Amino acid sequence: MRNSNSQAVHLKKEILVRLAAAFLGGDYPQAARLIPYDMRPKGSEVPFRCCIHKERAILKDRVIAGMGFAIEADDEKTLLSEYAERSLSRKRPEDQPLTVLGAACRGCVPNRIYVTDLCQGCVARECQSVCKFGAISIVNGKSAIDGAKCKNCKMCVNVCPYKAIVRIAVPCEDCCPVGAITKNPQGLAQINFAKCIVCGKCLAACPFGAVHEKSQLIDVLNQLKRGQRVIALLAPSIAGQFPGSPGQLKTALQISGFSDAYEVALGADITASNEAREFTERLDSGQSFMTTSCCAGYQELLKKHLPEIVPFVSSTRTPLYYAAEKARRENPVALIVFIGPCVAKKMEGLGNPAIDYVLNYEELGALFIAQKIEILSCPETPFAQESSRQGKNFGFCGGVAAAVSAAAGRPERLKPCLIDGLNKDTIKQLKKMAAERTCPEGNLIEVMCCEGGCIGGNAALNTLKLAKKIILEYSDRAPEIKGL
């Protein structure tokens, strides 16, 4: 999970707050243009970069991304006021929700294994003997690594008694489970969207905040200002992210301009019931296992990297799909805005005509700050329909499998196997399941893209432990899901 206390995260939040405040003020284009200068006025301290001009240039890029535009398309001549005008006339969000701020990227050295000056040239030379690829030789009495032969297996790192051999990691590249981040000819990070599964891990990993989410906050604010009826769909994981209860959060949303709010946990109840039925049918037909996931990142993984496991994937739709379907049916002329924990859901929103916009928890928090709304001071507003305890628990690892088990009514048949976070190892695990057409660990494979589940999403505001505790306290008061 991301470090929500990092300066990079604080910068992003500050810009979102300033953007929202600029929109809510008298002259949005002009106020937006001045954000980098307001944040770094003449004569102020330069905390991160070589000079105030570099600081302002990077802040400008962050504002552009905060308005929902790709930095890669910026010609460096267009004023922020012009981008602000464009954001007001935009009909729909841009297709890819991620962008890379080249000016903010450090241009880190490549991932590699490196022998430091701590090497003592010991007699044992275990590093040389353990290397299966012949990449280590002795030069002037000390170990040396041939980069062309090295496979980054880290065996030498693990055996060196002096810890003299280290692995130099590039955070964004290192965390990407599908190798979608590489360097461009200038040595800066770039995203290969043909490979990218929009898991958001690079967003959380980059210590310079160079990988950025394109926000849809201005789009939503623009619709609210026009008096459009806007319905918020709240992800199950939201209960552990903001102060106050979900009922108080609903009131805060209505104060901010939203017409109503639905719990996506209602859709989770439908998903769990449908998957329980589907799981039973598949086992009865002789299939050995089924994977389940409400994560859009997993769906992107299937399309781009793991087609061999598709026959074992549940065909049931996500909770968001069913919740949006319900909200659209009951509010045919309204705009539907999903509020969730991660960037992956922006991909799902772009592919579903029933969903108009997607905001994450950071963006919603920025909106409340700009509007000076205190959730804890808001009265409770009940939701029109109550979701089940199991539906409310979809947001953490194990919650989906538990809901399907409860809905199936025959838990003895269901043996859950939890994939707690997508990475290179867990993807290999899924590939092996597909190849062998079985899973020794279980028959219902719950796949969570983020460690801990949705409460570990890139825009999560709380720690995993505390978020889960709050959700469990909230869900304990709800009714049980109906079995088949």
* CATH number where 141 lies: 3.30.70.20
Residue type, 34: L
Same-domain check for residues 185 and 84? yes
Q: How far is it, in rounded angstroms, from Cα 38 to Cα 43?
A: 12
Chain position carrying tokens 């269901």: 414
Same-domain check for residues 96 and 124? no
In a domain, 481, yes or no: no
Helix (H, G, I), strand (E, B) or coil at 413: helix
Same-domain check for residues 44 and 68? yes
Alpha-carbon separation of residue 321 from 170, 389, 423, 448 (angstroms): 36, 19, 26, 17
Q: Which two tokens stand for residue 440?
A: 């020794």
Q: Which two tokens stand for residue 177?
A: 């489970």
Which pLDDT tens digit goes with each residue over 304-358?
999 999 999 999 999 999 999 999 999 999 999 999 999 999 999 999 999 999 9
In a domain, 2, yes or no: no
Same-domain check for residues 185 and 164? no
Which pLDDT tens digit goes with each residue over 270-303?
999 999 999 999 999 999 999 999 999 999 999 9
Helix, strand, coil shares of the chain as percentages rounded to 5?
A: 45, 15, 45
Same-domain check for residues 402 and 315? yes
Same-domain check for residues 241 and 360? yes
Which pLDDT tens digit goes with each residue over 416-429?
999 999 999 999 99
The tally of domains found in the chain comes to: 3
Same-domain check for residues 455 and 441? yes
Q: Are 147 and 112 in contact (CB under 8 A)?
A: yes
In a domain, 445, yes or no: yes
pLDDT band at residue 107 using 50, 70 and 90 as cut-offs: confident
In a domain, 173, yes or no: no
Angle between helices 7-24 and 52-66 (to 10 degrees): 60
Same-domain check for residues 26 and 95? yes
Same-domain check for residues 198 and 231? no
- Reported pTM: 0.92
Q: For residue 213, give every residue at least 6 positions away whose Cβ sits within 8 Å of its Cβ, in sequence order, or none.
A: 65, 97, 98, 99, 200, 203, 343, 346, 360, 458, 459
In a domain, 280, yes or no: yes
Closest CA to 208 of 108, 111, 105, 109: 105
Which pLDDT tens digit goes with each residue over 152-191?
899 999 999 999 999 988 899 999 999 999 999 999 999 9
In a domain, 453, yes or no: yes
Q: Which residue range(s) make up the domain with 440? A: 219-475
Q: How far is it, in rounded angstroms, from Cα 208 to Cα 193?
A: 21
Q: Are 208 and 341 in contact (CB under 8 A)?
A: no
Same-domain check for residues 418 and 461? yes
Same-domain check for residues 364 and 267? yes
Question: What's the CATH number where 271 sits?
Answer: 3.40.950.10
Q: How far is it, in rounded angstroms, from Cα 146 to Cα 136?
A: 6
Closest CA to 229 of 383, 88, 336, 100: 336
Q: Say how many CA atoms lie within 13 Å of 380 toward its Cβ.
A: 6
Burial class (CB in 10 A: 0-12, 13-18, 19+), 43: exposed
Q: Other CB atoms closer than 10 Å to residue 247's CB: what's the count?
A: 16
In a domain, 59, yes or no: yes
In a domain, 390, yes or no: yes
Same-domain check for residues 471 and 379? yes
